[in-house]
């Protein structure tokens, strides 16, 4: 990708009205020398070129914009148009200045933007280079070279970072940071400390879950043992009672009665439960409610997927299912109304519910079943009464046996049974608490195993979530460390490489008055910097920029204000000879007094691809110049003259814009 | 435009220092792509994901 300066138009501004076209058939000259007397608006034009490239005028103050209006002029607007070539494609930025409102408005045109668009719109391919920071590296004045030597400006570091693309490392770090920020937004804990809190909670919940599971198992096993022991004791009591002549037979009989009554009670319970599952048998009100529910459901429909074919086939039959013949009229009616009877798959479920309610609620079936239900409840009552009666009789017999037991052995065994039953009861209370459903009020101290497992699941989920965030943060930090460290190493390497390279060139350029770069940090540090002349400083600046530009393989137009203004004759020769190899397009804004030595050196490099332009204002002081204009290569606007040609360029001697007379 | 050989060497050196050798090539691939064209957001995130997957961290999965 290469950028070329193809020209500019200036109208109604402090600089003269001019339309400058540098491109011919998509090609621009390698060197453009634009000679303008002091006061013709060199600095204004350079500022406008930078502003057009970077979109910065949109942020200018009304005062800055007002300064662009020619002194004494009353025109309400002014326009600056910058034409660039990006590779071979045109890119045009237009700034419209409104001096009344003190505002600047942009328009951009480019084939990649689809033509002309409002505002400063930079095609993505060059956006990175057309920033204020970057553009100032290739559109600059002699003061820039001076700033390269001043640490407070850090221009040398900025130039290395931008032109050697170290800034790209910052971009990777920034993308990683914003990605992490987006991913972790809205999450609570995002740090290793937060993660540890949840890990501790998980560990304690895991321990609690294990303890409770173990306790539950122990309680159940203990209860089994206790029940077994209680049963043995009961058997022991029964055996002792049976040993007595007096109680043996009665005891055996009662035990059999109790046993049979228990079986009868169980059977009756099962029977009643079977009826309880049919609520319409319990009470008429259930039956009536079910009928009302059935009637509120949609009219019967058939599942469409499986039933549509039924109607299609029926319509083809000669006779209906009711036995009547099907004529064309009936056939049409069947097909037309079939959809009324078709519904979605849910229709099948609704039909089944309706059919079940019809079958089980109401009619003779209901009456008969209710009768059976009543019989079974009577049986349950009778079984229960029988059981209680037998059990009470057995207990009474046992109590009598206890009373007659002089050694009180039975009492002692019974006391053990009572104790064991108490333990069993206590254990069952705990088992119920451990096995109950979780409640919202349960905390980590609860005995409820389901609640602990729920909290454990939540803690594990949270850990997974935070772990991901923490891992992502660690990756982000590692990426940023890698980018930052790479940049530091690259800067150090490049600084040293550039220092050696620059010093070698400076030894040649300033052979009679050499100066060397001691160190490149944020700025350039010279050996004996205090004694360096302006010319030496500028030579160092050019040398450095040349080296960095070459290193970065950038193909930008270098646009310089007064390239040889402060140089002495010798340095002018050197700098003049250096410029043609600086870049592929060099545009210099210069005054006539810069020509000596500089121009000869420039031309001596063998390039004939040089455009010589001379621009001056029309004024009473330049009337004689206007009268002496050449026949060819002259363009005049209302307030300026532009002459294209080497001869005129070389003979032009007006160093300063004359005062209006 | 190609990225500076010193930049390439520096990324490799930094990666060695930080024990992120595997990540160096992913980062360089991203830098090269960026130096040649303007990347859109999706492309940047693609490079970032590749780089993340090559980064070594001491984060645990929490045993969850």
pLDDT tens for each residue of A594-605: 999 889 988 887
- The whole-number pLDDT of residue A137 equals 80
Does the distance separating the beta carbons of A127 and B64 come in below 8 Å? no
* Poorest-pLDDT segment among A100-114, A160-174, A456-470, A616-630: A456-470
Q: Which residue of A has its CA nearest to B64?
A: A460
Whole-complex ipTM: 0.94
Task: Give SS3 for A597.
Answer: coil
Please state, as a whole number, how many other Cβ atoms lie within 10 Å of the Cβ of residue A139: 22
**What's the rounded Cα separation, in Å, for the pair A110 and A157?**
33
Does the distance separating the beta carbons of B10 and A489 come in below 8 Å? yes
Chain B contact residues (CB < 8 Å to A): 1-4, 6-7, 9-11, 13-15, 17-18, 20, 23-24, 27, 30-31, 34-35, 37-38, 40, 44-45, 47-48, 51-52, 55-64
Which of B10, B40, B61 has the CB atom closest to A493's CB atom?
B10
Q: Is A10 in contact with A642 (CB distance < 8 Å)?
A: no
**What's the rounded Cα separation, in Å, for the pair A10 and A20?**
9
CA distances from A418 to A413, A422, A586, B39 (A): 9, 6, 111, 84
Does the distance separating the beta carbons of A482 and B20 come in below 8 Å? yes
Residues 6+ apart with CB under 8 A from A105: A58, A95, A96, A98, A118, A119
Residue A298 host element (H or E): none
- The whole-number pLDDT of residue B10 equals 97
**What's the rounded Cα separation, in Å, for the pair B60 and A468?**
9
Q: Which residue of B has its CA nearest to A460?
A: B64
- The whole-number pLDDT of residue B2 equals 80
pLDDT at residue A549 greater than cutoff 80: no
- The whole-number pLDDT of residue A356 equals 86
DSSP conformation letters of A315-362:
HHSSB-TTS-B--HHHHHHHHHHGGGGEE-THHHHHHHHHHHHHHHSS
- The whole-number pLDDT of residue A405 equals 82
- The whole-number pLDDT of residue A94 equals 97
* CA distance, residue A208 to nearest chain B CA (Å): 17
In the Cβ-directed half-sphere of B62, how many Cα atoms lie within 13 Å? 26
Longest dimension (CA), chain A: 160
A386 vs A312 pLDDT, higher one: A386
What are A620's two structure tokens?
Answer: 């009473």
In the DSSP assignment, the letter for residue A24 is: B
* CA distance, residue B63 to nearest chain A CA (Å): 8
Task: Name every chain A residue with its beta carbon within 8 A of the beta carbon of B27.
Answer: 172, 479, 482-483, 486
Task: Name every chain B residue with its beta carbon within 8 A of the beta carbon of A199.
Answer: 62-63
- The whole-number pLDDT of residue A363 equals 67
Which of B2, B9, B17 has the CB atom closest to A493's CB atom?
B9
DSSP bridge pairs for A103: A98
Residue B23 host element (H or E): helix B21-36
- The whole-number pLDDT of residue A418 equals 94
Q: Which residue of B has its CA nearest to A197?
A: B62
* CA distance, residue B52 to nearest chain A CA (Å): 6
pLDDT at residue A582 greater than cutoff 70: no
Q: Is A568 in contact with A594 (CB distance < 8 Å)?
A: no
The mean pLDDT of A338-363, rounded to a whole number, is 78
Residue A175, chain B, CB below 8 Å: the answer is yes
Task: Give SS3 for A116.
Answer: strand
Task: Name every chain B residue with its beta carbon within 8 A of the beta carbon of A497.
Answer: 6
The answer for A 259-298 residues in CB contact with B (under 8 A) is none
Which of A179, A497, A554 has the CB atom closest to B45's CB atom?
A179
pLDDT at residue B62 greater than cutoff 50: no
What are A431's two structure tokens?
Answer: 């088992």
- The whole-number pLDDT of residue A581 equals 67
In the DSSP assignment, the letter for residue A520 is: E
Residues 6+ apart with CB under 8 A from A221: none
Nearest to A657 by CA among A238, A9, A37: A37
Residue A565 host element (H or E): none
- The whole-number pLDDT of residue A299 equals 66
- The whole-number pLDDT of residue A341 equals 76
Residues 6+ apart with CB under 8 A from A345: A303, A305
* CA distance, residue B34 to nearest chain A CA (Å): 7
pLDDT at residue B64 greater than cutoff 70: no
Residue A526 host element (H or E): strand A524-526
A593 vs A553 pLDDT, higher one: A593
Residue with tokens 């290569």: A633
Q: Which residue of B has its CA nearest to A484?
A: B14
Please state, as a whole number, how many other Cβ atoms lie within 10 Å of the Cβ of residue A147: 19
- The whole-number pLDDT of residue A308 equals 77
Which of B4, B44, B61 has the CB atom closest to A175's CB atom?
B44
Tens of pLDDT along A252-278? 899 999 999 999 999 999 999 988 888
Which is it for strands A640-644 and A634-636: parallel, antiparallel or unpaired? antiparallel
pLDDT at residue B63 greater than cutoff 50: no
Task: Give SS3 for A510.
Answer: coil
**What's the rounded Cα separation, in Å, for the pair A543 and A548?**
9
Which of A175, A202, A555 has the CB atom closest to B48's CB atom?
A175
pTM, two decimal places: 0.60
pLDDT at residue A150 greater than cutoff 70: yes
Tens of pLDDT along A394-446? 989 988 888 888 778 888 999 999 999 999 999 999 999 999 999 999 999 99
Does the distance separating the beta carbons of B17 and A168 come in below 8 Å? no
**What's the rounded Cα separation, in Å, for the pair A614 and A36?**
6
Confidence of residue A241 (pLDDT cuts 50, 70, 90): confident
Residue A494, chain B, CB below 8 Å: the answer is yes
pLDDT at residue A92 greater than cutoff 50: yes
Q: Is A290 in contact with A297 (CB distance < 8 Å)?
A: no
Nearest to A554 by CA among B44, B1, B54: B1
DSSP bridge pairs for A83: A7, A92
* Poorest-pLDDT segment among A124-128, A283-287, A542-546, A591-595: A124-128
* CA distance, residue A163 to nearest chain B CA (Å): 10
**What's the rounded Cα separation, in Å, for the pair A103 and A62?**
6
A70 vs A188 pLDDT, higher one: A70
Confidence of residue A495 (pLDDT cuts 50, 70, 90): very high
What are A305's two structure tokens?
Answer: 């997927």
Residues 6+ apart with CB under 8 A from A21: A6, A7, A83
If phi > 0 it is left, if psi is from -120 to 50 it is alpha, else beta; for residue A331 that is alpha
In the Cβ-directed half-sphere of A256, how many Cα atoms lie within 13 Å? 6
What are A650's two structure tokens?
Answer: 């070389």
Which is it for strands A89-98 and A634-636: parallel, antiparallel or unpaired? unpaired
- The whole-number pLDDT of residue A661 equals 42
pLDDT at residue B59 greater than cutoff 60: no
DSSP alpha helix (H) spans, A407-511: 409-435, 449-509
pLDDT at residue B60 greater than cutoff 50: no
**What's the rounded Cα separation, in Å, for the pair A257 and A411?**
24
CA distances from A263 to A38, A581, A627 (A): 124, 114, 138
Task: Name every chain A residue with its beta carbon within 8 A of the beta carbon of B44.
Answer: 175
The mean pLDDT of A125-145, rounded to a whole number, is 79
- Report the percentage of chain A scoring pLDDT > 90: 46
């Amino acid at each position: 990708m290469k950028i070329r300066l193809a020209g500019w138009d200036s109208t109604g501004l402090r600089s003269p009205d001019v339309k400058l076209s540098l491109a011919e058939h998509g090609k621009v000259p390698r060197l453009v020398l634009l000679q303008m007397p002091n006061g013709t608006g060199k600095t204004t034009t350079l500022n406008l070129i930078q502003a057009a490239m970077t979109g910065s005028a949109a942020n200018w103050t009304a005062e800055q914009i007002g300064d662009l209006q020619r002194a004494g002029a009353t025109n309400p607007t002014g326009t600056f148009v910058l034409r660039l070539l990006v590779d071979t494609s045109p890119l045009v930025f237009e700034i419209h200045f409104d001096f009344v409102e003190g505002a600047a408005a942009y328009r951009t045109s480019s084939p990649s933007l689809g033509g002309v668009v409002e505002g400063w719109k930079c095609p993505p391919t060059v956006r990175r280079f057309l920033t204020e920071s970057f553009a100032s590296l290739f559109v600059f004045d002699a003061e820039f070279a001076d700033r390269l030597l001043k640490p407070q400006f850090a221009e040398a570091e900025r130039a290395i970072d931008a032109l050697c693309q170290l800034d790209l490392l910052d971009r990777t770090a920034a993308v990683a940071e914003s990605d992490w920020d987006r991913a972790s937004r809205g999450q609570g804990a995002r740090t290793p400390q937060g993660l540890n809190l949840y890990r501790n909670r998980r560990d304690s919940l895991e321990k609690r879950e294990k303890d409770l599971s173990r306790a539950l198992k122990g309680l159940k096993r203990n209860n089994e043992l206790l029940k077994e022991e209680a049963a043995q004791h009961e058997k022991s009591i029964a055996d002792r009672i049976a040993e007595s002549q007096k109680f043996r037979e009665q005891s055996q009989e009662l035990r059999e009665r109790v046993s049979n009554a228990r079986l009868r009670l169980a059977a009756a319970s099962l029977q009643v439960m079977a009826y309880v599952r049919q609520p319409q048998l319990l009470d008429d009100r259930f039956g009536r409610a079910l009928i009302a529910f059935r009637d509120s459901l949609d009219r019967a429909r058939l599942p469409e997927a499986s039933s549509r074919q039924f109607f299609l086939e029926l319509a083809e039959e000669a006779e209906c299912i009711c036995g009547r013949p099907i004529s064309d009229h009936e056939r049409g009616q069947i097909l037309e109304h079939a959809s009324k009877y078709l519904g979605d798959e849910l229709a099948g479920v609704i039909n089944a519910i309706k059919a079940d309610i019809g079958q089980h609620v109401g009619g003779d079936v209901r009456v008969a079943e209710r009768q059976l239900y009543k019989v079974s409840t009577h049986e349950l009552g009778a079984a229960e009464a029988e059981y209680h009666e037998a059990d009470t009789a057995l207990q009474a017999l046992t109590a009598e046996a206890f009373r007659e037991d002089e050694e009180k052995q039975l009492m002692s065994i019974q006391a053990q049974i009572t104790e064991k039953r108490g333990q069993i009861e206590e254990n069952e209370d705990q088992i119920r608490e451990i096995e109950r459903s979780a409640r919202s009020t349960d905390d980590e101290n609860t005995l409820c195993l389901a609640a602990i497992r729920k909290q454990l699941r939540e803690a594990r989920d949270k850990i997974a979530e935070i772990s991901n965030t923490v891992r992502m943060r660690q990756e982000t930090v590692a990426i940023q460390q890698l980018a930052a460290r790479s940049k530091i190493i690259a800067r150090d390497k490049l600084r040293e490489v550039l220092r050696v390279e620059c010093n070698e060139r400076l030894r040649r350029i300033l052979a009679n008055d050499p100066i060397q770069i001691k160190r490149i940090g944020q700025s350039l540090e010279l050996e004996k910097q205090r004694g360096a002349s302006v010319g030496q400083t500028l030579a160092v600046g050019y040398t450095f920029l040349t080296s960095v530009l070459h290193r970065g393989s950038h193909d930008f137009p270098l646009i310089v204000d007064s390239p040889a203004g402060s140089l002495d004759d010798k340095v002018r020769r050197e700098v003049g000879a250096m410029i043609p190899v600086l870049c592929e397009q060099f545009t210099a804004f210069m005054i006539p007094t810069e020509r000596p030595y500089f121009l000869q050196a420039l031309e001596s490099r063998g390039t004939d691809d040089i455009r010589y332009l001379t621009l001056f204002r029309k004024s009473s002081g330049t009337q004689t110049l206007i009268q002496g204009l050449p026949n060819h290569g002259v363009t005049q606007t209302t307030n300026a003259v532009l002459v294209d040609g080497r001869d005129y360029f070389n003979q032009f001697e007006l160093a300063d814009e004359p005062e209006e007379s | 435009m190609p990225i500076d050989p010193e930049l390439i060497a520096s990324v490799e050196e930094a990666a060695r220092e930080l024990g992120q050798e595997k990540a160096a090539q992913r980062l360089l691939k991203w830098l090269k792509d960026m130096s040649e064209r303007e990347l859109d957001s999706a492309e940047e995130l693609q490079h970032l994901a590749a780089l993340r997957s090559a980064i070594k961290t001491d984060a645990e999965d929490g045993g969850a």
